[in-house]
Structures are given as structure tokens and as C-alpha cells.
Amino acid sequence: MKEAARQAAFATRKLAHARDEGAASSALTQALAAYPDQPLAGYWPIRTEPDPRPAMTAHHGPLCLPVVVVPGQPLVFRRWHPGAAMEPGAFGAPIPQDKTEITPQILIVPLLAFDARGYRLGYGGGFYDRTLQALRAAGPVIAIGFTYGAQERTEVPTDATDQPLDFIVTEAGIRAF
């Protein structure tokens, strides 16, 4: 069920990526302006993900990027700043060389599809679900899904471990759940 939804979502995201990247990025900068000082986790874009780095660069607080420690475990987050030295990470996304870990309070979360309940479909590792579960158990966290409007579905397939998003940002603007 999730696999078929993933394949279809890759196709619509590729088209949306070619059309709208800049617009999605400026909506993200606006959403983050509500939380200027909190530690922010973004991501280094891979495939056809929209690029959150311009919005991260505009953020005042500490910045970090996700690192896969091992499959089946939550992500950790390494300190990052624009221009920071990078090294190859697992799964094709570069990671900061600086091993200093930061606990983010705001997370920009990549995704393949989302629905009106705020549920998301990722690449299938369960990394963000495990990470959000652990962070939410420890304190307040805001998860902001970042993608294109074309990735909305009536209902994405979910299971008991899926963690909902607090906001979705697309080129159409900011939605709260």
C-alpha cells in the first residue's frame, strides 16, 4: 500500500519540482519567522525535494542536519552553517563533518505525500517517525512538512507508528494541523 503510493508521489513531485521550487522556499522562510531563536533541523536536498537551505540561512537560531546512525534508530542532528564542510552520508545525502550534536525544536521534514490530517509518507525508513516520537516524548517540538501542493492526497496510508506534522508548507502557503 505505502510502496504504490510512494511510486506515484515520486512522479508528481518530479513535475512540481521543475515548476515551483522558489515559491515553496519563500513560504518556508515566512513560516520559520515565527520561531527565530529555536534550534532548527533542515535537510540537505536529495532527489526532487524542495531546497530548504535558503530558509535555513535566513534563520537566526542554531542550525543542524539529519544523520542516519543505523537503520531502525532515530536520526541524530549535527550542527551546520551555510558553507560548512560536508562528508558523504548514508543514503546519498551529505552530512556535516562537524560531529557536534544539536537537539532541534523545529524540524523541516521532507516527504513524498501528505494529507489533510497532517500525515506524511516518507521514503520508508521510518526515520522521521522514530525521531519525532523520541523528541516529542522529551519536550515540545514543531514538525513542518515541506513540499509541493501537488503532493497532497485525500488520505495517505498510515499505521500506528506514523507521527503527524504540525504544519505543511508548500508554494500555496502555510497550513496548520
* Interacting residue ranges for ligand ATP, rule: CB under 6 A: 2, 121-130, 133, 159, 161-162
Q: Which residues lie across from 169 on neighbouring strands?
A: 146, 174
Q: Which of 27, 32, 40, 75 binds ligand FFO (CB under 6 A)?
A: 75
Of residues 36 and 73, the one with the C-beta less far from ligand FFO:
73
Of residues 34 and 82, the one with the C-beta less far from ligand FFO:
82
- Does position 36 interact with ligand FFO (CB under 6 A)? The reply is no
Of residues 9 and 62, the one with the C-beta less far from ligand ATP:
9
Q: Phi-psi category of 20—alpha, beta or left, where left has phi over 0 and alpha has psi -120 to 50?
A: alpha
- Does position 167 interact with ligand FFO (CB under 6 A)? The reply is no
In the list ligand FFO, ligand ATP, none, the entry touching 145 (Cβ below 5 to 8 angstroms by class) is: none
In the list ligand ATP, ligand FFO, none, the entry touching 96 (Cβ below 5 to 8 angstroms by class) is: none
In the list ligand ATP, ligand FFO, none, the entry touching 161 (Cβ below 5 to 8 angstroms by class) is: ligand ATP
